[in-house]
Structure 1
Amino acid sequence: MTNIENQPKGELNLSSLPSHQKHISTVVTVNHSGKRCSNLQVREQQKSSVKSSELFDNSVYIEEICDVMCIALAELPAVLNVLDIVETLLYVKHGPEIICWVVANTPDCFREVCINLIANGERQEDDNVGGKTRMQAISMLCQMNPSQALPIRAKCVEMCRMPALAITLSLEHATRTLGGDTEGDMVAFISGLLLGNDQQVRNWFAMFVRNSQKAKLGIYSALQQRKWESHTSLQLCRDELLRRLQTIILFSMDSQLPESCVVEASALLRLYCALRGIAGIK
């Protein structure tokens, strides 16, 4: 391996690298000047689509790409910043997968990377490719480290950003605990957002619910619209709440609710009232 520590700061000797690894260097050396992108710049870039690349579009090279990036980050910590690299990877194909490889190789940066991704996200999700890719990357990181899923969700609420991600992480947590003593904290979590004392959080989540219900008139046909709605985080949340309601009904005999279900049914009813009255869900 070529010793790159002796190279001038901010430069890499590419003469000994294969041609495809030279291509990787164009991504690795992004922002090598040490200047961090502002949140405004990042959000402007989110509107752009995934950049086409012969190297990054081919999954065969993913392992080598990850190796080169991990070596570069380890050897040039003063030149390359993992947060800038992660932001750049959002705009190439297989970006979330490569981000997971990079973070797995440097686990100490897990929380910092996730918080930075959230901070550069939108207050309300939109349909641009960058926003969806960002949410996918964070979700995959939390699947890789499930114990950090709820703390990352709490960061979404604290920063009032990426509400769809908060719902997605709650649903994934419910799936992991399905069949156990508890089935996640979906009902308590959403109730806390809408009925808590923080007016900013309440308005933020209520706006997300309203925006998620808006029809995309003039963009989608009726069939395409129904297909789009079925994949939104809000619709998945509806399905989960409906599943819990159906479970309670199954335990009810002769229109009487068993005592073991009273607390859960009351919490569910309170949440439905909050969603209807505060968030205007239909």
Structure 2
Amino acid sequence: MTFSDIRFSDLHFALPVAEIQAALANPKVIFVLAASAVLIITLFAAWYTKKPASFEAAVKSGSTVRIRAYFKSTGLAPNDKDTDGMSFLFRALQNHASIKVLNWLVKKGGGLHDRNNRGESAFTVAIVSKNTPDVLRWLKHKGLDVNERGIDGLTPLMIAIQENTSVKIVDTLLDMGARVSDRADFGITPLMLAAGRNLNPYVLLTLLKHGAGLNDRSAEGATPLMLAAGLNPNAVEIVEILLDCGAKASARDKEGRTAIDYAKNNPALADTETFWRLNNSSYD
């Protein structure tokens, strides 16, 4: 007989029913079982509600019970701020809090629309701390402006680009209504920031797909191509994409410099085919 020949209906499991009934009829057994259950529940409750070592530990637990225990044990309030003007909501965002925890903090007066001493908003803190798209959508749902202005006139989209966040975050902000045409201080656009600072070519392509100005000028007359040539460590790939898309290599800034003049100060382009392509395109 093999295992496949065995029919489970042929098997008989004999439970010691009589013995179990007799044990349960014994008051001592019932007392021990009840005492054990109470002990287990008490230990679990003590662990679950004990004071966390820190607010960060409470946030990472994902438990609003432990968040409450933290505030109760410290005497602090959810709307309190530290010396840098960071609220507990901002600190929760820094530690990738769950939306359940974030909702609890907001309900308790966590200051969703506050700014810290640097002028950073909840959107900025969430983006810089690499939170998920769901958290960004939650912030917008709670009433934050996806095109708000922060330090140096930067919008959340610009901050995401500057921080080299994933394409998914950039896509999320664009889907939420972030504008590619907004300008920060000195006339900087999202595409200029992507060209000059972001290493991911797909961020650049995503902005262009959404209508970003390929040959826009900053207050100093710089184009995205000039900034890519002069500043981006991944200039070879970024410059090639901009040229392929039709960026004007012959354009000059207010000091008369072209993209090739910017490129001469970027080690990433030294002795590359892209450098010479840029040079030759300057005469077109």
TM-score by length of 2: 0.38
**Higher helix content, 1 or 2:** 1
TM-score by length of 1: 0.38
Kindly name which structure, 1 or 2, has the bigger radius of gyration based on alpha carbons: 2
